[in-house]
Copies of this chain bind each other. A is one copy, B any other.
Amino acid sequence: MTARGTDFGRLLEPRGIAVVGASANPGRVGGQPVFALTEFGYAGSVYPINPKYREIRGLPCYADIASVPDPCDVALIALPADVVPQAVLDCGERGIRFAVVLSAGFGETPGGADLQRRLEEAVAASGVRVIGPNCQGVLGLRNRVYCGFGAPFQYAHPESGSVALVTQSGGFGYAVFGLADTSWMAFNCVISTGNEVDVETLDLIDYLLDRVDVEIVATYIEGVRDGRRLLALGEKARALGKPIIVWKVGNSSTGRAAAASHTANLSADYEIYRAAFQRPGFVPVRDVDDMVDVAKAFLHRRRPAGPRVGVMSISGGAGVLLADRCEELHLQLPPLSQSSLAELRSFMPQFASVANPLDVTAQVFNDLAMFRRVVGILLRDPHYDQIIVYNASIQGDTALRFANELAAIASETSKPILVGSSALPSRAAAAFEALAKAQLPCFPTPGRAAAAAAALFSFWRNELPVRAAPAAARPVGRVELSFDGERVGEHDAKRCLQAYGIPTVREVLLPLEQALALRDPPLPFPLVAKIDSPDLPHKSEAGAVRAGIRDLSELRAAIGEMLESANRYRPGLRINGVTVQEMAVGTEFLAGALSDPYFGPIVAFGLGGIYAETLRDIVHEFAPFDAGAARRMILSSRGAALFGGVRGQPPLDLDATAAMLSRLSLLIADHADRIAAIDVNPVFVGPQGRGIVAADALLVPRAGR
């Protein structure tokens, strides 16, 4: 059950919280929140509920949910699993709007599916919005809402900030939070969603993006049910300028199996998520460090206009490393402008290397006037969109003076300034404080500064797509398609492609009798011949394809041999006939389309032939899309270079390939309810202006249709 646009304000700013299953023991799951809510500054009312007690920590203890007084916005439920559905119904009766269910033993356990269904029914019947079950709770740092259990709920957090974290893994999500918390990164809230019986990760992200006190939403996910909503939230995030930092796990086969046994979370292939995260609004990360680094860079609130980075370093070695990393991450390190060069050369010490990276000496860091001048020149240089300043392990007073100077210069520009400092926090505390106060992000190694710069650039570069008027933009209108069976063979699959204007090779389907008694060539030689059968998805494995047939006798022989070979491969197979086709020429690619249960219609494209399986170079795009998006898709694949022309070969026909992919995207988008997948493999792409031609196709209808 998915609700959109829910206002979760009272979940994060509750006037009163009932702890259902409260305990007087602060070590127990039902005891921790009572302790934390009364100790760490929560200003609302706390209502312990447990018939066994009269009071807990000086608060009156209530016998049941019905007895809780007003105001009460949230019930925190720490009861045995089997009584949870009734507790949710009781919350509904009592008018409590949100329930956070910590209890485990639902869909994630072998025998818990039934109980989870009962909980779903209680949610539907009561109207209560439920977080969990099997979650670790809600930690609202702004209002000191300690609604959960485990390490991060056991101490008072000093500050609240503007990073919201939504996590599908309680234990790990809170571990991440704990680690990140030490790194000058302040959280607004951390919400563990557990089995998501009602409220889903995407509901919370949707809401949190709208909050004025949230600037960044970070999320740890194993999978989402509605992939298209994820994409839409990315666009919302990009429009608001608030990144969704996304850490997706369960991407390997072992990882997916583990996720399935963990929160019963199945999800789309990681390849599809990868395509999703390349769209506007997302910044994918892989560990705590990069999550923290990316967040710091965005909290800085400066936006690079392009990929060009100016680097200044006190260490030549660090400059080399920065150059490596920037290049790896598709940033650019252009040379200094002529005027910067001239100015720098006029006063820089002899040992300095006046270039980009600018390898300054300790002297520059000791001479504040010189330091200011050098940084100012870099910042003003029109060749750079952002600046990285690395000061190695300069510590103490020197570091502080440099930090103050940098803070002063920073106010003169809106270009991002990323600082690298490998000094120990204990030896440069004042400097780090000064940088933080000036909102200058500081990273412990140059490599991490470069990665943060790249994240900034890629988020801001990724513009929102321009929505064309839906019908007018279509090169082809919706066409009804007719097909049936479990697999649609080549001939009929190609008819579907033709209906959407995708060129296919000229061919003739000869009935078997006619093929066996052939007297005249059905098309000009050279030809390809294939057995047409719904039972042969992989024809070449079955010896049911012959290419390069040059005359009639070869054609006759090939037909006989193929029939024999196919019958050996799959005795008793159904045969529609023999397809005879012109030989397509060009470079072999593959295209495909599928209806993903989570992300809907998707188109895939990559190098074909023997390289397809070897190189697994497949890019994906969400259907439908226009030729412009198709062009970007092609150019993001490994085969992109072929469209630019490789040594002595003319460039391949990009326009025709893009048109084909866009038409295929319309086909699958129009018929995603009936088509599970279409393979167009191989498709031959000719040189520029010579077009493309689909040489084979296979269509798999959706089961049960």
Sample 20 A-B pairs with CB under 8 A, ordered by A number. A105-B350, A108-B351, A111-B350, A151-B392, A151-B423, A172-B321, A176-B422, A176-B445, A249-B320, A252-B327, A254-B327, A258-B320, A258-B359, A262-B359, A288-B445, A538-B647, A607-B611, A614-B639, A614-B642, A614-B646
Contact in complex: A258, B316 (CB < 8 Å): yes
Distance in Å from the Cβ of A395 to the closest Cβ of chain B?
Answer: 5
Stretch at the interface among A163-171, A294-302, A695-703: A163-171
B538 touches A262 (CB 8 A): no
Known contacts being A179-B444, A638-B615, is A351 close to B104, with CB within 8 Å?
yes
The answer to whether the Cβ of A476 comes within 8 Å of any Cβ in the partner chain is no
A319 touches B262 (CB 8 A): yes
Report if A251 contacts B (CB, 8 A): yes
The one of B249, B261, B317 in contact with A353, judged by C-beta atoms closer than 8 angstroms, is B261
Are B253 and A315 in contact (CB-based, < 8 A)? no
Q: How far is the CA of A350 from the CA of B81 in the complex (A)?
A: 12
User: Contacts A170-B317, A320-B222 given: A327-B255 contact, CB under 8 Å?
Assistant: yes
Which B residues lie within 8 Å of A214 (CB)?
none
Name the residue on B nearest A154 (C-beta): B395
B155 with A324: CB separation less than 8 A: no
Interface check A273, CB cutoff 8 A: no
**Is A94's CB within 8 Å of the partner chain B?**
no
Is A323 in contact with B424, judged by CB distance below 8 angstroms? no
A304-336 to B contact mask, C-beta < 8 Å, 1/0: 000000000111111111011011100001000
> CA A321 – CA B257 in complex, angstroms?
11
CB under 8 Å from chain B, chain A span 238-266: 249-255, 257-259, 261-263
> Are A323's CB and B393's CB within 8 A?
no
Q: Which one, B253, B287, B333, B359, contacts A447 given CB within 8 A?
A: B287
Residue A587 interfacial (CB < 8 Å): yes
Q: What 1/0 flags go to A608-621 for Cβ under 8 Å of B?
A: 00110111010000
Q: Is the pair A328, B169 in contact by a Cβ cutoff of 8 Å? A: no
Known: A288-B444, A321-B255. A169 touches B393 (CB 8 A): no
Closest to A426 in B: B182
Q: Does A70 touch B at the CB level, under 8 Å? A: no
Asked if A320 and B171 make an inter-chain contact with CB atoms under 8 angstroms apart, the answer reads no
Confirm or deny: A175 has a beta carbon within 8 angstroms of a beta carbon on chain B.
Answer: yes
Contact B109 A350 (CB under 8 A): yes
- Tell me the minimal C-beta distance from A649 to chain B in angstroms: 6
With A257-B323, A327-B254, A648-B540 already in contact, the answer to whether A317 and B613 are too (CB < 8 A) is: no
The answer to whether A353 touches B393 (Cβ under 8 A) is: no
Task: Name A315's contact: one of B175, B324, B353, B423 (CB within 8 Å).
Answer: B175
User: How distant is the Cα of A607 from the Cα of B447 in the complex, in angstroms?
Assistant: 32
Nearest Cβ on chain B to A539's Cβ, whole angstroms: 8
In the complex, A612→B487 CA distance in Å? Answer: 36
A679 to B155 alpha-carbon distance, docked (Å): 66
Chain B residue at smallest Cβ distance from A394? B151
Is A161 an interface residue when CB atoms closer than 8 A count as contact?
no
Sorted nearest first, the 3 A-B pairs with minimum C-beta distance are: A169-B317, A171-B315, A175-B422
For residue A358, which residue of chain B has the nearest CB?
B258
CB of A541 within 8 Å of the partner chain: yes
Asked if A556 is at the interface (CB within 8 A of a chain B CB), the reply is no
**B424 x A178 contact (CB < 8 A):** yes
Q: Which residues of B contact A317 (CB under 8 A)?
A: 167-173, 220, 222, 249, 262
A448 CB-CB contact with B under 8 Å: yes
* A21 shortest CB reach to chain B, Å: 16
* A150 lies within 8 A of chain B by Cβ: yes
Q: How far, in angstroms, from A460 to B357 measured CA to CA in the complex?
A: 38
A314 → chain B, closest Cβ, in Å? Answer: 6
**What is the CA–CA distance of A178 and B423 in the complex, to the nearest angstrom?**
7
Please tell me if A355 contacts chain B, counting CB pairs below 8 Å.
Answer: yes
Q: Is A152 an interface residue (CB 8 A)?
A: yes
Residue A98 lies at the interface, judged by CB distance under 8 Å to chain B: no
A111 and chain B: residue at smallest CB distance: B350
Complex interface: chain B residues within 8 A of A319 (CB): 258, 262
What 9 new A-B contacts, CB under 8 Å, besides A172-B321, A249-B317, A251-B324?
A108-B351, A108-B353, A168-B317, A176-B422, A178-B422, A181-B424, A182-B424, A253-B327, A258-B319
Asked if A427 is at the interface (CB within 8 A of a chain B CB), the reply is yes
- A614-B617 Cα distance, complex, nearest whole Å: 12
CA distance A258 to B356 in the complex (A): 8
A667 to B104, CA, bound (A): 68
Interchain CB contact under 8 A, A169 and B318: yes
Q: Which residues of B contact A599 (CB under 8 A)?
A: none
A174 touches B (CB below 8 Å): yes
- Closest-by-CB residue of B relative to A611 is B611
Interface string of A637-654 (1 = CB under 8 A from B): 011011000111100000
Interface flag for A286 (CB, 8 Å): yes
**Complex: A30 Cα to B587 Cα, angstroms:** 67
CB distance from A202 to the nearest CB of B (A): 17
Q: How far is the CA of A287 from the CA of B446 in the complex (A)?
A: 9
The reply on A289 being an interface residue by CB < 8 A is: yes
- Taking CB atoms and an 8 Å cut-off, the chain A residues in 134-193 that contact chain B are 150-152, 154-155, 167-176, 178-179, 181-182
Q: Smallest Cβ distance from A468 to chain B, in angstroms?
A: 32
The answer on a CB contact under 8 Å between A316 and B151 is no
> In the complex, which residues of chain B have a beta carbon less than 8 angstroms from the beta carbon of A254?
323-324, 326-327, 333
Separation of A610 and B428 alpha carbons in the complex (Å): 54
Instruction: Across the interface, name the chain B residue whose C-beta is closest to A177.
Output: B393
Is the Cβ of A642 less than 8 Å from the Cβ of B610?
A: yes
B255 touches A320 (CB 8 A): yes
Contacting B at CB under 8 A, from A404-457, are 422-424, 427, 444-448
Chain B, residue nearest A110 (CB): B350
Residue in B326, B357, B610, B642 whose CB lies within 8 Å of A587: B610
In the complex, chain B residues whose CB is within 8 Å of the CB of A172 = 315, 317-318, 321, 392, 422, 446
Residues of B within 8 A of A353 (CB): 108, 261-262
Min CB distance A160 to B, Å, is 18
Contact call B648/A538, Cβ cutoff below 8 A = yes
Q: Within residues 646 to 696 of chain A, which ones have a CB less than 8 A from any CB in chain B? A: 646-649
Question: With A182-B424, A445-B288 in contact, is A392–B175 under 8 Å at CB?
Answer: yes
